[in-house]
Chain A
């Protein structure tokens, strides 16, 4: 190989002894449109020397054919195409992108430049098609007359960066889709004023669909004033400490012109820091757990109510036992009376349970109470009255009173005689005054033989007191008449105490 100082060396202009310089020296230039190197114009020689010195991949496409002369850096880029690519015409050398290079040649040789950023091309560098991205800059190379004789291209492959960006973008879209589809509510608050940057559909739903983007929390959700949430966000922003809260009550404006609505939320305020560690955002994430909290409250209420009812029932049974024992002559009599009274309570419970202990239809309650006293084969008990719903307490008390009246009638009164009849009816007048009348026909006019008078005390003293009315018992020769008078309001007690 001739030395660089050899003045006879036609390749001394290369000024470089890299791999490509060696190829240039040994290339059969006479077989190309460029001709032997001795005939090359100075512009071609200078351009070739220039690109060979560059560490950046550069290719020159000389002449109409676009004969390719490139540097070492480009040879790496060309992969398996190199070294046969060297010296070929660009449209043939890169046959898979001949159209693209045809345009490059036309534009370049007309004296204009071309620039592509992240240009996507499919190249066969390693024997298989490969998707690549490149920044491509083309500019004309003028000959001695200033006329474009070739095109020089600086080629920077950006495939790695493009793929990385694409992965980032996909990751971001995946996160955004998670954000959008999350069943929980999410919001990103920026800065110390807590300005809404992002909210997901769950968050929009929580706040009644209001558009809060770009607003501060005070502008966006003014109803939070005095509820401690602004202060808590300030604290998280100042201290950088994550805050978690469960089943917290919040009043939110969920409908225009409606008062703020009570909701319960589990949530996290998560501070987001920048690369220097300073809190810049707060990520809000949580769930609306109102239904769960309400169900728990309802369950607690029901358990309390059940406990209350059981204890009261036990106390009522204690009362039945204690008072029955005070009034009877024999154990057998006591046992029968206690059983009958407990069963009367139980039947009333059944009616109330079917009605969810809300209220009871008076007719249903009365018929259930009288079932035990019906006489087979004749209509000994006649029941009539308008449809009225009564509260659970009043229903139970009326049932217990009817049981005492029924027991008395069966033992001593109308239902103790083969032809006796009980007529039971009730009325509601225009002033909502309620009257219930029990009248016996065709039986002895007797009430109560128990010594201490549990039955008469119940129907004549306690019942009217409970129902804030009056009760009277008249003994006629044809049988007794019991009359209860009160108001509709007094028999319409409410079912459940809220908040106990």
Chain B
């Protein structure tokens, strides 16, 4: 069982990802639904992996990703933009495009964890 941080600003989507992560047998950290909350959570919680929405109610989540890179914590972007919405420095970062099947997320987790 791993601890997985969920960063997602849409309530319903956050609940869906929570279910998917729980169903895989992992423990949910968060969900953090705004940029400030996400940065706080990264600073205070311990976790093994993160699922990052890109647009957090009008703020981009790249500062969170930057912090995760520094900490060496693997993560995947989950976004309606797909890879088109990624900042230059994350062009090759793993992405799942919303909506996604729980199995897609599971495959990414298995690959990166």
Contacts and interface: CB of A to CB of B under 8 A. Distances in A.
B37 A315 contact: no
A500 B80 contact: no
A5 interface: no
A500 B55 contact: yes
A217 B58 CA distance: 42
Nearest to B54: A500
Interface in A431-456: 454
Interface string A117-128: 000000000000
B58 A497 contact: yes
Contacts of A316: 10, 12-13
Nearest to B9: A393
Contact of B55 (A308, A322, A326): A308
A311 interface: yes
A400 B11 CA distance: 9
Interface stretch (A176-184, A237-245, A274-282, A460-468): A460-468
Given A307-B80, A308-B79, A500-B81, A462 B34 contact: no
B20 to A, nearest CB: 9
A319 B12 contact: yes
A462 B11 contact: yes
A496 B81 CA distance: 13
Interface string A307-337: 1111110111011101100100000000000
A391 B55 CA distance: 14
Contacts of B36: 468
Interface residues of B, number: 32
Contact of A310 (B19, B34, B80): B80
B76 interface: no
Contacts of B104: none
Contact of B15 (A312, A458, A490): A458
A318 B16 contact: yes
Given A304-B81, A308-B80, A466 B34 contact: yes
A181 B67 CA distance: 57
Interface string B1-31: 0000000011111111001000000000011
Q: Interface majority SS on B: helix, strand, loop or mixed?
A: mixed
Nearest to A311: B80
B97 interface: yes
B59 interface: yes
B16 A315 contact: yes
A398 to B, nearest CB: 10
B11 A458 contact: yes
B12 A495 contact: no
Given A468-B37, A493-B58, A497-B55, A309 B19 contact: no
B11 A311 contact: no
A391 B58 contact: yes
Given A307-B80, A308-B85, A320-B12, A494 B59 contact: yes
B59 A397 contact: no
Contacts of B84: 304
Contacts of A322: 16, 19
Contacts of A318: 16, 99
A495 B9 CA distance: 13
A70 B57 CA distance: 100
B40 to A, nearest CB: 10
Most chain A beta-carbon neighbours within 10 Å: one of B12, B54, B82: B12
Contacts of B9: 393, 466, 493
A374 to B, nearest CB: 25
B10 A393 contact: yes
B60 interface: yes
B12 A466 contact: no
A80 interface: no
B33 interface: yes
A466 B13 contact: no
A393 B55 CA distance: 11
Contacts of A494: 57-59
B98 interface: yes
Given A496-B58, A500-B60, A462 B31 contact: yes
B98 A314 contact: yes
B57 A315 contact: no
A457 interface: yes
A454 B15 CA distance: 9
B59 A315 contact: no
A320 B12 CA distance: 7
A468 B34 contact: yes
A100 to B, nearest CB: 82
B11 A466 contact: yes
A495 B58 contact: yes
Contacts of A314: 98-99
**Interface core residue of A326, A462, A495 (most chain B CB under 10 Å):** A462
Given A315-B12, A318-B99, 18 more contacts: A308-B85, A311-B81, A311-B97, A312-B80, A315-B80, A319-B15, A322-B16, A393-B10, A393-B57, A396-B10, A463-B11, A465-B14, A490-B34, A493-B9, A493-B58, A494-B57, A494-B58, A495-B58
7 contacts: A308-B79, A319-B12, A320-B12, A323-B19, A466-B33, A494-B57, A496-B58
